[in-house]
Amino acid sequence: MSSARDEHSLLFPLVLLVSILGVLTIVVGCALAVWGLHAYSIPNNSMNPTIWTGDLCLVEKFTYCFNEPKRGDIVVISTEELNLPADSGLRIRRIIGVPGDVLRVTSGRILVNGCPLSECQPPVGPTDRIGSDTIQPHYLAYDGDQFVVQKETYFLIGDQLANVLDSRLLGPSSRKSILGRVDVIIHSGHWRLSALLAWPHGATALQQR
Contact of 37 with 29, CB cutoff 8 Å: no
Q: Which residues pair with 60 in a beta bridge?
A: 37, 181
pLDDT at 202: 40
SS (H, E, C) 184-209: EEECHHHHHHHHHCCCHHHCEECCCC
In this structure, CATH architecture of domain 37-205: Ribbon (2.10)
Give the list of residues 6+ apart from residue 162 with CB closer than 8 angstroms, or none.
130, 131, 132, 133
pLDDT at 56: 87
pLDDT at 173: 93
pLDDT at 29: 54
**Residue boundaries of the structural domains of the chain:** 1-35, 37-205
pTM, to two decimals: 0.74
pLDDT tens, residue order, the chain (209 aa): 555 555 556 566 666 676 677 666 665 555 555 556 788 888 888 888 888 888 888 888 888 888 999 999 999 998 887 766 555 578 899 999 999 999 999 988 999 999 999 888 888 888 888 866 656 778 888 889 999 999 999 999 998 888 888 898 888 999 999 999 998 888 876 543 433 333 333 444 454 44
pLDDT at 66: 87
* Interior/surface letters 189-209, b for 16+ CB within 10 angstroms, e for the rest: eeeeebeeeebeeebeebbeb
Alpha helix positions (H), the chain: 2-35, 167-170, 191-196
**Residue 188: is it exposed, middle or buried by C-beta count within 10 angstroms (0-12/13-18/19+)?**
middle
